[in-house]
Every structure is written in C-alpha cells, then in structure tokens.
C-alpha cells in the first residue's frame, strides 16, 4: 500500500518536474507544449462550447484549461509511478528512462515550437529533459528500491535533493533560454502617433467617475441575465442632484473613450502572437487582383488617407449587459483604398483577411467598396497597437461584431469565390451585424434623486434615443444623451428620477436612428449575438 502511494508521489513529482523543464525552456523553444495542447483544444472546440466556457468562467476560462491539462499530466505521471513494477526490468534499468524522457521532450517541444529552427529545438529538448533526468539519476543512487525508500526519512532525502537540484537546474536553464531565445517577453514596444484630423471626433480617455467621492457597494436584488452584479450603485451626500450636476461621469459610468489598458480583449489565442513591426509586410493581392503588392508599417502610418476616430467594438459573445464592449480612438487607412491599389478584377467576390494566428475573415468586395469606414487600423488612443489588439495592424469594421475584425494581419486577398470564415465555420452568423443595445452601468443617489446611467449603440444606424423604465417596463421615459463623440461610437446617457421607493426595477432599450425600437425578445449570444432589454432590480 505504502509502496503504491510512494510510487504515485514519485511519478507525479517526475511529471511535474518535466513540466518545470518545458516551462523553463519555453523562451528558447519558442513555445510551451501545454499551451500548444490547450490551443489545439480551443480551436477544436465547437463555437457554443467556447461561448459557454467564456460565459461561465470569463477571463479565467483559459487559465483553468491550462491548469486542468497540467493537473491531468501530473495525474498521468502518478499513474505511471503506480504501474512502474509492471514495466519490464530491462526498461527500468540503465539509460532507458533518460532516453524515453528525451524522446518525449523532443516530441513535446516539436509540437510547441512548430517552426523554430532545429538547433534551437535540439537545445531546448535536452534542457527540458534535464530537471526530470537530474531527479531520476539522484533517485537511482538511493538503492535498489528508490521508490520504496520514500517511506523512510533517509530514503526521502535523495528525492528531496533531486527535486532541489532539478529546480535549480530549471532556473539556470530558464536564464540560458531567455538569453539565447531572444527574450520573448509577451510585450511589444509601442510608440506615439501624431493626431490625425477627424472633425467629428471628440471625447477623452479620462476614466469615468474620477473625482467622485461616492461610496456604497452595489446591491443587486435580482438580476435576470448577464453580469448585472457589476452595475455600480453609489450614494453621494454632497453632489448637485440636477441632471447636469450628475453629468455623464458619475461613479461607475464608462469613460467616453475606453482607456488603452481597459479595452476588452477577445481572441482564440492563449498567448498573443508576436510580430516584429520592422520586418513585417502586409501583402495585398489574391486571385482576383491584377497588381498585388506589399505594405510596410510606415506605409500605413504615413498614408495620406489615414484617419483617427472613436469606434465602438463589441464581441458577438457579449451577453445582455456584458463587458465585452469598448470604444477606442482608432487610427487607420480605409481598406478600400488599399485594395483598389491592388487592381481588383471583375471576378472579385470577397476581401479575405488573414492573420498569423491562422484566423481568417471575409467581407464582400462590394461592401468594402461602399464603406470607407472599414479600415486597416494601426493605432489606438494615440499609440501603435498594444500586443493583444493585433499589431502591427488589424481590421476594424464599425457596426459589425468584433469577430469580423481580424487582428495581427498578414495578408489581404481578393477572392473569386465566397469565403468561409473562421467563426462562420463554427456556426456563428456570417454577416455579424451588431444588434442594437442599451446597457445600464451606473446608478447613483443624491439626496432624494437617483441617476441611472449607461451607454447605447446601434452600429451604422446610430442611436436616435434611449428609453428608461424604473417600473419594470410598464412606463418608459427618454434619457438624456451625451453629444455624439463620433459617428461610429456608442452614446452615453443618463436618466434622473425622484427616489419614491427604495427599490428600482430598471430597464433600458435603444431606439436607433431609423426609429426602430430595440427588441425585448431575449436571445443568447450564439449564433447571432444577444438580444433583449437590460433589466435589473436594485436597492437605492
């Protein structure tokens, strides 16, 4: 019995040390086998599963996946430890174990690194296997039954020494890997961009609610859908309780333009891909183009047709009231201008955008030609793109869900046939036109007045008005809208009411620029994006 437990422990420790080894050499190998495996799982998952995981765990979904894979690997090591006595003796002795470790290491590093050069791979493989080999060698010194020895303090010592030596080896290996692996640290250098003229754009990046002395925790009595617990309910004793006194920046309100680091991030990658902006070229051509060419980043940043303006982007997985929506001040060049230079032929059907992460999307060429607001974006809020938003350049399509806006662009092709895109192949809506919405974000009480505030968006149709109900949808009133900050951005709004009861049954709906009232019919994000009024009951 004891033996079995000891074998499980030693096997599990061996597996864990191997993970330590591959983690230590990840910078040298250019990848991590567990991350590669997790990435494979993500890409093989059907669209509804990915959405369910995001809805259930949010940003924790990917760490949880990696954690489970790691735990499963350690469990497999423990099982192998238990089964150890059944392994033929000639395999257990001599160099069989180190050789097997090396082979497994090679396979894993190959999977992780994909295209890395052979010398790097060989070095990474040997290094990755080192911690577990150190462990194995020290163990075999401890006598004929090293595993059984774990049961006694003096038998345990070599194992502990092995672990210590293996971890020390890993630290050293990691240092070597960083130096010779080029020091990939998951960041890209950004630089400032000059302002571009766009008369319509205003708005600041000041975080909302700054300067407010409001306190009081959100207390949501009932939340019928979505992450309503994030709506902030606050109180303020000293504030001006008129509409203009509340303004649009009271505690909990989103900033008109989302600060760079707070813009939502969604993509299929566990780690964002890295591209060297210096050597990057964007190829523009394809079978339905007569004059394909390549663009460097400077060609975009210095382009005459470059524009800067606030654009709201929202993920198709966003539930009613959700946080996967932001507004950035984006810099970009109209896609049609770039494509026209490649000489589209009469047979052009789709403009296909491809990314270095294997992602691909498409828009009909006809649409691109009619919509100059579709841009290839290279900057956000005054600087080049942060690593997670797709540098050196990404697509930006106002009025469509974020999934259409390919990040980390490497190629743009005119195709002569309809193109099946990445998420479309996984069952999501092909056109992905944003469904109009209005969300509550903040509720603040000042004396006997209560302000309800939030933002609304209706894509290219624009927001005509926003309506708010405080009696659960029986009666509706018009909210006060902030002046537009741009044609393609959300509108912030507020509605101030007398506090007659301590409980407010709040609902909101958008009316778009064509007069269409947002549907109250609830639908989940998959496959066409969520619909329905944002509704919550709060104590004020």
Ligand X SMILES: Nc1nc2c(c(=O)[nH]1)N[C@H]1C(S)=C(S)[C@@H](COP(=O)(O)O)O[C@H]1N2
Residues lying near ligand X in the complex (CB under 6 A): 263-268, 313, 315, 355, 357, 359, 389, 402-403, 405-408
Q: Which is nearer to Mo ion, 59 or 117 (CB)?
A: 59
Per CB under 5 A, the segment of 104-112, 218-226, 312-320, 442-450 that binds Mo ion is: 312-320
Q: Which partner in Mo ion, ligand X, none is near 426 (CB below 5 to 8 A by kind)?
A: none
Please list every residue from 259 through 298 that binds Mo ion, using CB under 5 A.
266
Closest to 177 (Cα-Cα) out of 27, 20, 23, 17? 27
402 binds Mo ion (CB under 5 A): yes
CB-closest chain residue to ligand X? 402
Q: Which partner in Mo ion, ligand X, none is near 265 (CB below 5 to 8 A by kind)?
A: ligand X
Q: Which is nearer to ligand X, 355 or 480 (CB)?
A: 355
Q: Distance between CA atoms of 452 and 234, rounded to whole angstroms?
A: 11
Cα-flanking dihedrals φ and ψ of residue 332, to 5°?
-170, 170
Give Cα 39 to chain centroid, integer Å.
13
Q: Which partner in ligand X, Mo ion, none is near 389 (CB below 5 to 8 A by kind)?
A: ligand X
Contact 253, 206 (CB under 8 A): no
| Sequence-distant (≥ 6) Cβ neighbours of residue 203 within 8 angstroms | 256, 257, 310, 327, 329, 485, 486, 489
397 binds Mo ion (CB under 5 A): no
Q: Distance between CA atoms of 336 and 328, rounded to whole angstroms?
A: 21
Cβ 410 to ligand X shortest distance, Å? 9
Numbers of helices and strands, H then E, in the chain: 13, 20
Q: Which is nearer to Mo ion, 402 or 459 (CB)?
A: 402
Cβ 361 to ligand X shortest distance, Å? 7
Q: Distance between CA atoms of 254 and 467, rounded to whole angstroms?
A: 18
Q: Which partner in ligand X, Mo ion, none is near 61 (CB below 5 to 8 A by kind)?
A: none
Q: Which is nearer to ligand X, 131 or 525 (CB)?
A: 525
Contact 457, 397 (CB under 8 A): no
Q: Which is nearer to ligand X, 357 or 467 (CB)?
A: 357
403 binds Mo ion (CB under 5 A): yes
Cβ 348 to ligand X shortest distance, Å? 23
CA triple 195-200-204, angle to 5 deg: 60
Q: Which is nearer to ligand X, 357 or 482 (CB)?
A: 357
Select the residue interacting with Mo ion from 37, 315, 339, 412 (CB under 5 A). Answer: 315
Cβ 401 to ligand X shortest distance, Å? 7
Strand, helix or coil for residue 511: strand
Q: Which whole-number Å values give the CA distances from 417 to 259, 350, 351, in the listed order? A: 40, 7, 10
Q: Estimate the share of the chain in helix, then strand, then coil, as percent rounded to the nearest 5.
A: 35, 25, 40
Sheet holding 232-235, edge to edge: 232-235, 437-446, 449-457, 491-498, 480-481
Cβ 508 to Mo ion shortest distance, Å? 23
Please list every residue from 49 through 88 that binds Mo ion, using CB under 5 A.
none
Q: Which partner in ligand X, Mo ion, none is near 405 (CB below 5 to 8 A by kind)?
A: ligand X
Q: Which partner in ligand X, Mo ion, none is near 439 (CB below 5 to 8 A by kind)?
A: none
Please list every residue from 152 through 171 that binds Mo ion, using CB under 5 A.
none
Q: Which is nearer to Mo ion, 79 or 266 (CB)?
A: 266
Q: Distance between CA atoms of 69 and 51, rounded to whole angstroms?
A: 20
Chain positions contacting Mo ion, by CB under 5 A: 266, 315, 402-403
């Amino acid at each position: 019995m004891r033996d079995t437990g000891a074998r499980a422990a030693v096997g599990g420790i061996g597996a864990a040390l191997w993970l330590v080894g591959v983690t230590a050499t990840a910078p040298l190998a250019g990848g991590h086998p567990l991350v590669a495996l997790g990435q494979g799982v993500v890409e093989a998952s059907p669209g509804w599963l990915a959405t369910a995981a995001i809805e259930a765990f949010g940003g924790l979904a990917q760490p949880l996946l990696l954690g489970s894979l790691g735990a499963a690997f350690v469990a497999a090591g423990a099982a192998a430890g238990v089964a150890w006595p059944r392994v033929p003796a000639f395999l257990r002795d001599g160099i069989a174990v180190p050789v097997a470790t090396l082979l497994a290491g090679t396979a894993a590093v190959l999977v992780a690194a994909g295209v890395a050069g052979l010398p790097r791979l060989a070095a990474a493989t040997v290094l990755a296997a080192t911690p577990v080999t150190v462990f194995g060698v020290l163990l075999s010194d401890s006598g004929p039954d090293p595993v059984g020895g774990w049961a006694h303090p003096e038998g345990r010592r070599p194992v502990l020494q092995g672990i210590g030596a293996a971890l020390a080896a890993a630290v050293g290996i990691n240092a070597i890997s960083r130096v010779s692996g080029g020091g990939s640290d998951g960041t890209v250098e950004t630089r400032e961009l000059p302002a571009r003229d766009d008369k319509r754009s205003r708005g600041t990046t000041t975080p909302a609610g700054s300067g407010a002395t409001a306190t009081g925790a959100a207390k949501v009595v009932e939340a019928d859908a979505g992450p309503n617990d994030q709506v902030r309910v606050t109180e303020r004793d000293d504030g001006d309780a008129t509409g203009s006194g509340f303004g649009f920046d009271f505690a909990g309100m989103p900033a008109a333009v989302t600060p760079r680091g707070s813009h939502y991030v969604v993509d299929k990658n566990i780690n964002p891909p890295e591209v060297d902006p210096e050597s990057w070229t964007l190829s523009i051509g394809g079978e339905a183009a007569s004059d394909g060419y390549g663009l460097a980043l400077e060609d975009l940043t210095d382009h005459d047709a470059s524009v800067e303006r606030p654009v709201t982007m929202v993920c198709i997985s966003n539930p009613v009231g959700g946080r996967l929506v932001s507004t950035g001040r984006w810099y970009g060049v109209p896609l049609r201008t770039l494509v026209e230079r490649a000489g589209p032929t009469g047979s052009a059907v789709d403009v296909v955008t491809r990314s270095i992460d294997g992602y691909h999307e498409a828009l009909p060429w006809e649409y691109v030609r009619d919509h100059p607001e579709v841009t290839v974006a290279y900057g956000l809020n005054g600087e080049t793109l942060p690593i997670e938003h797709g540098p050196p350049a990404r697509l930006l399509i106002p009025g469509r869900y974020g999934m259409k806006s390919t990040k980390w662009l490497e190629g743009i092709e005119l195709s002569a046939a309809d193109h099946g895109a990445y998420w479309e192949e996984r069952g999501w809506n092909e056109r992905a036109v944003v469904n109009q919405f209005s969300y509550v974000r903040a509720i603040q009480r000042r004396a006997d007045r209560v302000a309800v505030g939030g933002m609304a968006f209706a894509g290219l149709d624009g927001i005509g008005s926003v309506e708010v109900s405080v009696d659960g949808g029986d009666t509706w009133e018009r909210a006060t809208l902030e002046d537009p900050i741009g044609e393609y951005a959300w509108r912030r709004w507020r509605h101030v009411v007398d506090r007659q009861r301590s409980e407010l049954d709040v609902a909101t709906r958008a009316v778009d620029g064509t007069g269409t009232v947002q549907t109250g019919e609830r639908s989940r994000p998959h496959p066409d994006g969520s619909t329905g009024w944002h509704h919550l009951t709060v104590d004020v």
